[in-house]
């Protein structure tokens, strides 16, 4: 068993004073030596963090013991080390930025557990719809799924016409995403737009891989940490993406070593070395080119970073918060 854990979670549950809770939550992460990204919003909590197993257990226990988050679910993976370089706990308007006029606490698609999804996914009366960004589904998606060429969930309304033919049909629409959070709003939006028989994969691709083996998920799943992509399918794995440079099959996704570009793209190991981790010859000539270390993951400049950063009151004094 590996020493570190990676936790992926979200919960829609009203938080009355997000700014105050952000400070409490930031301190909790500091106390437990966790790194990662956490979003606090009036509508709830969304995060991905990494830390030692015991620290992650204490973190989960603390959240579950808070009445607001009693129903929270964690997707738990193992790692040899931290999968993040920093800790950021931020207040935002939404826990997943969508600008969709829906409330997941009022209505969403019917939640399907992984085993139920596995049973239904190949039914000819079922249509799978990927709610992730284009660079995510380019490296991995379910067989036969409909995908949209969108950069983020805010663009979903611009692509509804692509599945308009499903309105009024007897087809079951099953939406899916990485961890389930986007589908809470995406499925609600489809219902609001007049679609019937709308379902969503509860816990997303990650939970499906962990609990049901990941069958028929082609390629790998894009994740928002140092790993970039992770394998999901332990039954019939395949590779669907090709190297941007040479065209050989690869699921290896990187960020371009040119900071001016920083695009996500697939790159085989050989081309990574030959082209210094860049997506084009023009990027290779960038005078600010970052050294390519073989991973293709570049954290932002950390020279002045401290995990205590931002943990100050409006008067600039350290805050003391009791964590129970």
pLDDT in tens, 28-51: 999 999 999 999 999 999 999 999
Q: Indicate which residue of 177, 183, 243, 268 is catalytic.
A: 177
Of the candidate ranges 47-61, 231-245, 259-273, 305-319, the one whose mean pLDDT is the lowest: 305-319
Please give the model's pTM, rounded to 2 decimal places.
0.90
How far, in Å, are 34, 86, 305 from residue 29 at the CA level? 5, 11, 16
268 is catalytic: no
> Span 89-99, mean pLDDT?
96
pLDDT tens-digit readout, 168-223? 999 999 999 999 999 999 999 999 999 999 999 999 999 999 999 999 999 999 99
The full DSSP string for 186-219 is HHHHHHHTT--SEEEETTHHHHHHHHHTTTTEEE
Per-residue confidence band for 312, with pLDDT thresholds at 50, 70 and 90: low
Structural domains in the chain plus CATH codes: 4-91 (3.30.70.100), 110-219 (3.40.250.10), 241-299 (no CATH)
pLDDT, averaged across the chain: 93
| DSSP state at residue 299 | P
Q: Which residues have a Cβ under 8 Å from the Cβ of 178 and sit 6 or more positions away?
A: 8, 132, 136, 204, 205, 206, 221, 222, 223
Q: Categorize the per-residue pLDDT at 293 as very low, low, confident or very high, splitting at 50, 70 and 90.
A: confident
pLDDT given at position 213: 98
Q: How far is CA 283 from CA 272, 276, 290, 302, 307, in A?
A: 13, 10, 11, 23, 32
């Amino acid at each position: 068993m590996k020493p570190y854990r990676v936790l992926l979670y979200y919960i829609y549950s009203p938080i009355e004073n997000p700014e105050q809770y952000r400070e409490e939550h930031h301190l909790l992460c500091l106390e437990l030596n966790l790194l990662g990204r956490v979003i606090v919003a009036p509508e709830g909590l969304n995060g991905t963090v990494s830390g030692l197993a015991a620290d992650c257990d204490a973190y989960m226990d603390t959240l579950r013991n808070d009445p607001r988050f009693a129903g929270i679910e964690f997707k738990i993976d193992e790692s040899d080390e931290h999968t993040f370089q920093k800790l950021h706990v931020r207040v935002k308007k939404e826990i997943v930025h969508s600008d969709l006029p829906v409330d997941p606490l009022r209505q969403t698609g019917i939640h399907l557990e992984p085993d139920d999804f596995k049973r239904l996914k190949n039914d000819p009366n079922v249509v799978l719809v990927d709610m992730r960004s284009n660079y995510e589904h380019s490296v991995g998606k379910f067989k036969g799924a409909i995908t949209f060429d969108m950069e983020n969930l805010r663009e979903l309304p611009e692509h509804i016409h692509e599945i308009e033919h499903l309105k009024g049909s007897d087809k079951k629409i099953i939406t899916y995403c990485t961890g389930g959070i986007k589908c809470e709003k995406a499925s609600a939006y489809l219902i609001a737009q007049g679609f019937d028989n709308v379902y969503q994969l509860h816990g997303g691709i990650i939970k499906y891989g962990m609990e049901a083996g990941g069958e028929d998920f082609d390629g790998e799943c894009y994740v928002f940490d140092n790993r970039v992509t992770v394998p999901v399918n332990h039954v019939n794995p395949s590779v669907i993406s090709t190297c941007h440079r040479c065209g050989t099959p690869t699921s290896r996704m990187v960020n371009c070593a040119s900071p001016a570009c920083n695009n996500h793209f697939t790159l085989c190991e050989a081309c990574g070395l030959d082209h210094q981790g860049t997506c084009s010859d023009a990027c290779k000539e960038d005078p600010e080119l970052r050294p390519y270390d073989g991973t293709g993951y570049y954290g932002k400049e950390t020279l002045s970073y401290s995990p205590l950063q931002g943990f100050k009151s409006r008067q600039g004094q350290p805050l003391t918060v009791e964590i129970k």
